[in-house]
Structures are given as C-alpha cells and as structure tokens.
Chains A and B, each alone.
Chain A
Amino acid sequence: MHKRIIVQASFAPDGLVVKVADGISLEEMTTAILEGLPKELFASDLKVFDEADDEEDTREFAEEENLQRGRVVHVGRCLLVEAKIRYAGRIVERRFLPVTRIGRIKRWAVRHLGINHADANELVLQVAGTNIQPSRDKHVGSYVEGHTCTAVFDLVRTYTVNGDSSLTSDHAALLEHTNAAPFLMGEMNGRWRLRDIAWPFAFVDVSARDGRAYTLRLQCDGYPGMPTGAFWNLATGSWLAAHSWPRAGARFGGALRTDWQNGTALYIPCDRTSISGHEAWLQLHPAWVWSPTVGIARYLDVVWTMLNGEDYVAPSA
C-alpha cells in the first residue's frame, strides 16, 4: 500500500504529490519524499518539515488547519523564514517555521498591526513585487526571495472602492458625457475645455478662431435633456455684457443675438429655452438639433462652429 503526500516548496509553488509506502518510519518517510522529488529539483541540503510539527507559540492564530502527520510537508533549505508584512508604511516581522501556513501568518500580522479581526476579512497577503496572493493553506517557506530565507508580503485589500454614489441621475449623466468620446475629442483638439461643474451649471471655455476663449455657462438640470445658457463673465460672476459678445455673420442668422432672453440663452436649436416656439428649426437646422446621445458636445460644437467661421468677428471691447 502507498499513500500520497503533498509537498510544498519554493520550487513547486503549486505543490507536488509524492507516493511513499504506508507504515514506514519518519526517517524512512523523509528519505522517500526527497527521493521522490523530480531529479532536477533534488539538492543535498533540502530538509523536510511536517505540518504537524507546527509552532506552539502561533497556534492561537491557526484557523481550521486540521494538521495531520504525514499528509502535507514542506521541503526547503531554510530552518526558519523571516516573514515581513508591510501595511500602509507599517511593518511587522517574525521568524516562522517554513511549514507555517499563510493563513496563520496573516492572522498573526493582523493582530500585531492593530487591525480588528472583523476589519481584516477583506485583506489578503500578497507576495511583494508580484500579484501572487497565496491561499491560506500555502506554506510561508514557498515564498522566500531567491536564495534567502526572507519572505516579504504586502497586506492588501483585493479591491478597494471609495466614493459617493449619491449623484442625481442628471448630474451623473452629464459627468458620463464629459468623459465620453465626443466631448473628449473636442477637448483634445483644443475646441473647448471644461472649466468646472458647479451643479447644475457647467462652465466650458470654447475657443474662437482668433485664439480667444469664451466661457459658456450651461444649466444642465434634467440632463441629458437640453441645457440652456450663454456666455459668462467669470470675473464678475454674471452674464457676459452684450458689448463683449462675439459676432457671427448671416450664415448663422441671429444665433449670437444679445437681445434674446437678455443674453441668458443662445438662440440656437439645441438650447432648451430657445427651441420653445421654434420647432421649425428641427427641420431647418437638423445638424444643430440636440442629441441626448451626443449630449453637451453637440451644444459646444454648434458654438465652436460659430466662433470659428470666416465671418466670426471678435468683440471690440
């Protein structure tokens, strides 16, 4: 009869299975394990450690280990492994038997870092400099660095999320569109630049043909429904005075008219204040009609087009 013994080692991170005869002595079993290793892995200085020969001092940190002699062993050169656990600039370290399980070491580290056991549920040990997160039944000796007897781990959360999901849906929709391709393309090409969002207002600088930038203040409640707004004077915190407005030629009709709504809404089909009563624009200017899919980039594109035509005229003031 034979029995199977699981061997953990730094050279066999996934473990090996070695068959030995049943009923042999401990010394015979050790010899059989070493002889059972693949020849290319054998070295004369290797030692065998049985999980059942665990360290009494750390047993309080064991969790469901169910250690049994002659079932799982560790093979390695180190009699003890210096385990260092790093966490947010703190470090705790201790020498463990190489056969000590990772789960026991994590619990020891959590205690010594002052972390409440309940808060440690999401934390795992990760081998420093790698993305290896050994399961809790792996042996610390399998993770020594090179030919040293030191193993370094980072205590990390598998995935961390913080933040506020209490945004209103219209605000969230606007934020999503400011990270979508139509808006970002405009930014990357220098056509406009998001200056700020102070909900429900978005402040965007739109570039003109002569290099000037005009700040638009768009009221975006109800987004991705149409916004409404016009040019804004950041210095005074008020609508841009009529004499400071840019002008466009006949091609754009009276889109940049300052007498409309007292200069608080651009006279274009994608402005919600202006479209009211001008439904005919939907047929006359289909390219300027609001698109909930494209969103704020549509409004900005219309304004940019007006500010970059041959008939653009800068304000005299």
Chain B
Amino acid sequence: MSHPLLDIPHTVFQALIADLARSGRGVKESGAFLLGRQDGTHRIVTAYLTYEDVAPNSSSQHDYVAFTAEEMAAAWEYCYTTGLQVVADVHTHPLGPRQSPSDRAHPIVSVAGHVALIVPNFAQGSPQPRDLGVHLFGGAGRWQSMFGDEAHAAIRLT
C-alpha cells in the first residue's frame, strides 16, 4: 500500500481506544463510527461517535454490536448536523482482529472503499494500529483484510 487508508490524530486514537475499553469493560463488544472527511481514497478522521452514545438501548442489551434502524438514523442525523461523514467504523472483538461472518455480511456502510477496524481483546491493554484488523470493503460482499505491518501502514497516527 503506497499511502495510509486512514489518518487519525494520535489524541483521537488514544481517546477512542480508551472509550472502547471503558465501554466494553473487558466483557462485551463496543464500537464507534469514525467521522471526518474523505479525499479520494484518503480518509481523515477528526471525531468519533460511540455506539454506546448513539445506540444506548441496543448497547446495553447485547454483548455484541447491534443497532436498530432508528439508532442508525440517529447517527446519520448527527452526521447531517455536524457536516461530517462516516469514513470508517470500529468495533472490538473478545479475541482476534479478524472479521466474523456477521462483520463480513453486514458492512456498517455499504459503500465500496469503506474501512472497518476491529480491535482485539475488547480494546484492553492499549492496543496500537498494528494490533488491529483493517478491513477494506470492496462492494458486493468483498473485503480486503490487513493485519500487523499492513495494518500499521494503513492507519497513520498524526
């Protein structure tokens, strides 16, 4: 990969991981919409919206990531009022950063080029970009996954 897929300010990344870890408490999955702007294939994250904040009911009822149509619409409304786009999403897994069947079947944003990050171990232990799974949606159910050095290269902390 010649350039990173995502630029994330270091402080935003740290706060995001801390929020995911706090929300999941090491026992349940948590996640967030990563918001910002997209320039071609380059995505710049400037903020995030946690599923816990935008989908409090579903987040409290399930140990996995889930939200209703109303909760997804609430996220879109937030984007509309802030002028930000969902440039990626992130959620935690109890174990590794590979996609589950439901992750592959249900992209959070079904536009080719969308990036889904998976943070292992419920985001406990201050994971870094190389610990994450970076999954690039290619449309029509296709994904390209990156781990380790590739994941490190795909996420640039600024």
Q: Which residues of A contact B (CB under 8 A)?
A: 86-91, 113-116, 118-120, 122-124, 126, 128-129, 131, 133, 154-167, 171, 175-176, 178-179, 194-199
Contacts and interface: CB of A to CB of B under 8 A. Distances in A.
Contacts, number: 148
Given A119-B110, A157-B106, A194-B25, A175 B63 contact: yes
A161 B102 contact: yes
Given A131-B70, A161-B102, A156 B28 contact: no
Contacts of B111: 87-88, 90, 113-115
Given A86-B79, A166-B95, A179-B27, A157 B102 contact: no
B35 A89 contact: yes
12 contacts: A86-B79, A88-B75, A116-B112, A119-B140, A120-B110, A157-B106, A162-B103, A163-B102, A175-B28, A175-B63, A197-B124, A198-B124
Given A194-B25, A199-B94, A88 B69 contact: no
A197 B27 contact: yes
A123 B109 CA distance: 10
Interface centre among B91, B109, B110, B140 (most CB of A within 10 A): B110
Given A88-B111, A113-B111, A171 B139 contact: no
Nearest to A87: B76
Contact of A156 (B31, B64, B69, B95): B69
Interface string B39-76: 00000000000000000000000011111111011011
Nearest to A203: B26
Contacts of A114: 111-112
Contacts of B91: 162-163
Interface in B95-152: 95-96, 100-103, 106-112, 121-122, 124-125, 139-141
Contacts of A199: 94-95
Interface of B: 25-29, 31, 33, 35, 63-70, 72-73, 75-77, 79-80, 83-86, 91, 93-96, 100-103, 106-112, 121-122, 124-125, 139-141
A114 B111 CA distance: 6
A120 B112 CA distance: 12
A296 to B, nearest CB: 11
A116 B103 CA distance: 17
Contact of A160 (B77, B106, B124, B141): B106
Contacts of B125: 198
A179 B67 CA distance: 19
Given A91-B80, A160-B108, 19 more contacts: A86-B77, A88-B79, A90-B85, A90-B111, A115-B111, A154-B72, A154-B77, A155-B76, A156-B73, A160-B66, A161-B106, A162-B106, A162-B108, A163-B64, A165-B100, A176-B63, A198-B26, A198-B125, A199-B95
A188 B86 CA distance: 35
B140 A159 contact: no
Given A88-B79, A89-B76, A157-B106, A163 B27 contact: no
A41 B86 CA distance: 42
Contacts of B84: 89
B77 A129 contact: yes
A80 to B, nearest CB: 22
Given A89-B80, A162-B31, A116 B73 contact: no
B72 to A, nearest CB: 4
A196 B28 CA distance: 11
Q: Which 6 A-B pairs have the closest CB atoms?
A: A163-B64, A89-B85, A89-B79, A88-B86, A162-B65, A119-B110
A162 B118 CA distance: 10
A167 B96 CA distance: 10
A88 B85 contact: yes
A132 to B, nearest CB: 10
B93 to A, nearest CB: 4
A48 B91 CA distance: 50
A165 B76 contact: no
Nearest to B64: A163
A126 B27 contact: no
